Amino acid sequence: MGRRRPSKRTPRTAPSPSSSPVDSEPEGPDLIGALPDCVLHSILSLLPVKDAARTSVLSSHWTNLWKAAPLRLDDDSINPERRRRTRAPMCAPWEWSRNAVSRLIDSHHGPIETLHLSRFARGCDVLTMGRIVESAVRRPGGIQQVSLDCYGSELPLSLLHCNSLHQLSLYRCTFPPNLPPLIFPNLIKLQLSSMDIYKDLVQNLLSQCRSLQILHMTSACYYQYNNRSISISSPSLRELDCYNTIFRELIIEDAPNLVSLMCDEYRSDSDRTYYKVKVLHAPKLE
């Protein structure tokens, strides 16, 4: 028997782009782009900063939307160390973060609702820190929440008179020795962490912050060893939390609306004694 000759197969050709059923269908309307700008601003404000900024490459319209949308700036979210696939920056992480935050602030002209700076102030001069905070505070719409790690630097003065600020968290910050009048007029929640508290600072803050309802002090050191008592008098304060704080005595002099008092048993002295808590007037405290 003879061998069968192989048949010649005609090679298949890929379909032309015009014959593709997907490409033949007409494109649908741009439903997202047709939304009102106010709705798009709300959507952009909910995205992480890096993702919201990427929308500016879509068109000039999206660029303007990004620049005017409310911003929730967190320098930890743009930290390159959080992304394993991101190429390591040529500079230190805090320096990279500081440069990124400065560029964002300069390119964005809309309101800043929240500002969280945990790396920015490391190695940063006071003028640069003050410029960034002042730019955020003076935006239209008003900033509502701020969290700052000052790495031992003094708190920017522009923040003290911010009328729109409701929540403030301070880490390793230094207050000016003489507080100006009428600071934090509408502040509701204040957290002080890892910072020295000089004499009468807490009471001065309470007397100035007429709307303050919540005060948390964490790892706050009272540096005057011989007179480490803190007095609390506030008509608006409702919640006081002292955790790992170093002082001899906590005195609740006059807090008519205080309903919650949380204190840990930190051993304040070398003889392992606990600090005392005296409640003179707090009728709502259980």
202-227 residue pLDDT tens = 988 999 899 999 999 988 776 655 55
Cα 256 off chain centre by: 31
- What's the pLDDT band for 197 if we cut at 50, 70, 90? confident
β-strands 145-149, 167-171 pairing = parallel
DSSP 175-220: --SSPPSS-STT--EEEEES-B--TTHHHHHHHH-TT--EEEEES-
Local structure of residue 227 (DSSP, 8 states): G
Give the model's pLDDT for residue 21: 47
pLDDT digits (tens, 9 = 90+) for 2-57: 555 555 555 555 445 444 444 444 455 655 555 565 666 566 655 666 666 666 54
Q: State percent of the chain over pLDDT 90.
A: 23
Give the model's pLDDT for residue 84: 47
pLDDT digits (tens, 9 = 90+) for 72-107: 888 877 665 555 444 544 556 667 777 878 888 887
Task: Tell me what the pLDDT averaged over the chain comes to.
Answer: 76
Closest CA to 93 of 72, 123, 66, 64: 123
Cα 2 to Cα 5, 154, distances in angstroms: 9, 98
Identify the residue with better confidence: 76 or 65.
76
- What's the pLDDT band for 230 if we cut at 50, 70, 90? confident
CA dihedral of residues 82, 87, 90, 93 (deg, nearest 10): 0
In the structure encoding, which two tokens stand for residue 229, read together? 């008592």
Local structure of residue 56 (DSSP, 8 states): G
Evaluate if pTM is beyond 0.85: no
